[in-house]
Amino acid sequence: MRDRELAKKRAKELVAKMSLEEKASQLKYDAPAVPGLNVPAYNWWNEGLHGVARAGVATSFPQAIGMAAAFDKDLMKEVGDVVATEGRAKYNAYSSLEDRDIYKGLTFWSPNVNIFRDPRWGRGHETYGEDPYLTGELGKSFVEGLQGDGEYMKAAGCAKHFAVHSGPEADRHHFDAVASKKDMRETYLPAFEKLVKEAGVEAVMGAYNRTNGEPCCGSKTLMQDILRDEWEFQGHYVSDCWAIRDFHENHMVTETPEESAAMALKAGCDVNCGNTYLHMLSAYNKGLVTEEEITLAAERLFTTRFLLGLFDETEYDKIGYDKIECEEHLKLADKATAEGIVLLKNNGILPLKKSELKSIGVVGPNANSRVALVGNYHGTSSRYITVLEGIQDETKDEGVRVYYSEGCHLFRDRVEHLGWRQDRISEAVAVAKNSDVVILCVGLDETLEGEEGDTGNSYASGDKTDLLLPEVQRELIEAVCKVGKPVILLNMTGSAMDLRYAQEHADAIMQVWYPGARGGKVVAKMLFGEISPSGKLPITFYNDTEELPEFDDYSMKGRTYRYLESAPLYPFGYGLSYGDVQVETVTYCKTKVELSQKDAEIAYDGHDGLSVTVELQNRSKVATEEVVQVYIKDTKSAHATTAAKLCGFDRVSLGAGEKKTITVTLDKDAFTVINDEGEKLVDGDRFELSVGLGQADARTKELTGKESIKFIVLR
């Protein structure tokens, strides 16, 4: 039932039949059954970041940051739909067995639409990158796919972590993220607003930290003033896990669990992931909360359950177990992997030609690692295909010898006590000497970048202290490159790294991210030219941390492509291809502009709609996909971002030599800026638009050899 008013009415009628104790019991994430009313137990905690997670076998998609690199809204909607389908299949199977435990419900605590403002943040790979517009568009599509458009909600999405949250992980339980009104409205809030107002996301999760002094799971400013009053959010609010306990134990804004429970409930937190709401009745008895407040939270939660059809027969009840990790879903996962891999450098060595190779060396700690395939918040796959296995499968009938060496472990602490660190590097050198080309697989995994306290992490905090690969890997890279054989470096990380040595010494570099459980198959096909790379960076790759502000400084000054004041190693939106696609012309407000017409001026009359028509041509003999990107800069306003900001994009497929015309629709807020008071306004009358395959900046031109078509719009 998508009729929220009817669902609210049914929820109100049901909750009215409950005792105060029963209503309070429903505000915990592991809500117990209410037998007298035929209400089964329900566990609100489920994860679906890049496939159904922690609930057994499911289709494994690339980590979220890898899917973001596809710049593909349609793909994200399909992925969301697959998560919902497999979630329903599991729910149907488990509930028929009366198993209603954790990770078996239909309320998925995804997507993570926090802004990846600093490359040191360990959880950044859970996000869609550093740009609010890209994050909002992709998050919106994912939620639309997840929640569906049927008579009932297929699954419930959750926008997290509201609202200013991106490390440091080690400090999150007591940290206060201080952000200006401008940064709040320009960077940290827009994606959440889009998911609430345009995607109708059913849930919002608060963050552990405080924002401007208020705990995010008890913030009247965030939860009531902005989320419910301003944005008119109608769904339910959930705390991050055990975050409410932090109110009295770490933030010190309350003194007792009862006070913390009351603070969260009064601000609008409906369900507690944790145990602080076990004190809710005690808080009631002390006069800290009212029965009406408890009732309202319970009604919101049951509204969601009615919208999901959990008390009715629905069109989703027939989704069978055969939909889990089915062939159709696995093909979509392969597509997502292929679209997200970013080719950072290629001196012409790629694609490899099997007929010209007798031997390939596959080297590195991530070459045969299953852990490096999946990122965090992942499910289980019935099969894993590492990069080594993918290359072996791809060449097994070609008479090509594949040599392998782990080279080193992921980081030194794992190997020093074993005493054979240099022996492994020597093996890697021997492999390189006996190979025609070396595929060098380095990077991180969830044990080195991830969430504080998460079971996958080796240390309490999953943040990075710098952008360098672990020292033992740097030694491996240098040793292999010094052999003198062609080297293709595959970087398997969820964040930006310092790849300056590889940029100088390797023949090609691919940013592979965490490509999904079977991602090695797609990587191999791309290396050998069956697939052309088409991913674009959703984050900036910096040279080092010297050009960045302090990690715990939440001001956007000097951060991300919009405010960066120096040349990056690789810019946001950048990515190479095996093809040669060129933007030929751009038509805006019935005026056609070519590359040669720099700074052409076009008067915008406000009646033709915010869209640009783009003519492209693939000048090569290689079929490929590309991402058209549109950026805008208010050249007159003092409130404009330092660099032009992304305001539109579209992915397009072009055959060899093919020409194609597409239309990119610009966001209605493209011409607006945010002033220091956090107000959105049109503040100028002269705007520079650029349309190309990346930013219209000097570094992109230097790396790609291509320019964007730029013109001036006058209002």
* Residue 112 one-letter amino acid: N
Residue 375 makes CB contacts below 8 A (sequence gap 6+) with: 50, 62, 63, 64, 66, 125, 126, 446, 494, 513, 514
* Tokens describing residue 617: 């041509």
State how far the Cα of 62 lies from the Cα of 68, in Å rounded to an integer: 10
Residue indicated by tokens 């145990």: 275
Catalytic residue among 126, 144, 183, 240: 240
Helix (H, G, I), strand (E, B) or coil at 477: helix
State how far the Cα of 503 lies from the Cα of 509, in Å rounded to an integer: 7
DSSP conformation letters of 82-141: HHHHHHHHHHHHHHHTT---TT-SSBB---B------TT-TTGGGSS-S-HHHHHHHHHH
Task: Pick the closest to residue 586 from 715, 429, 713, 399 (CA basis).
Answer: 713
Catalytic residue among 22, 126, 446, 449: 449
* Tokens describing residue 596: 């040669």
* Residue 290 one-letter amino acid: T
DSSP conformation letters of 167-190: --GGGTTT-EE---HHHIIIIISH
Kind of pairing between the strands at 686-692 and 624-634: antiparallel
* Tokens describing residue 689: 């638009």
Core vs surface per residue 244-281: b (16+ CB within 10 A) or e: bbbbbebbebbeebbbbbbbbbbbbbbbbbbbbbebbb
The answer to whether 84 and 146 have CB atoms below 8 angstroms apart is yes
* Residue 240 falls in the annotated catalytic set: yes
DSSP state of 468: P
In 558-623, at which residue ranges do the beta strands (DSSP E only) sit? 581-588, 591-594, 600-603, 611-618
Exposed/middle/buried for residue 689 (C-beta within 10 Å: 0-12, 13-18, 19+): buried
* Residue 166 one-letter amino acid: S
State how far the Cα of 682 lies from the Cα of 604, in Å rounded to an integer: 14
* Residue 230 falls in the annotated catalytic set: no
The answer to whether 248 and 256 have CB atoms below 8 angstroms apart is yes
* Tokens describing residue 267: 């601000």
Catalytic residues, by residue number, are 240, 449
